[in-house]
Amino acid sequence: MKTIHLDAEKINLETAIGFATQEPVLLLTADGREFLLAQADDFDVEAESLRRSSAFQHFLDERSACSKTIPLAEIQAEIDRELKEQGNLN
């Protein structure tokens, strides 16, 4: 898996898609959000590629090491607040 730190490396969508035709691409934003770009029509191949990717396995290990949990009710309340702010919830 290729990782691109968007705060350090500016790429356009065409370039990102080009990378994703070869392997899944993890896009990291400056504010810490993560996006995965992968070819959608070949799920089995992508899943196997991720299984064999030491970088992706390392990423999963780091994520699973986080012990912080957020109660579902808190997440739902945050979603409701955001929807209300956007005018999508009465």
90 has a pLDDT exceeding 70: no
The closest of 55, 59, 17 to 38, measured between CA atoms, is: 17
Mean pLDDT of 26-49: 85
Q: In Å, how far are 32, 47, 63 from 29, measured between CA atoms?
A: 5, 24, 17
Question: Which residue(s) pair with 27 in the sheet?
Answer: 4, 35
Residue 22 DSSP code: T
The rounded distance, in Å, linking the Cα atoms of 27 and 41 is: 20
Would you state the structure tokens that stand for residue 86, as one six-digit string?
């956007």
The rounded distance, in Å, linking the Cα atoms of 24 and 38 is: 5
Mean pLDDT of 52-74: 87
89 has a pLDDT exceeding 80: no
Neighbours of 1 (CB within 10 A): 19
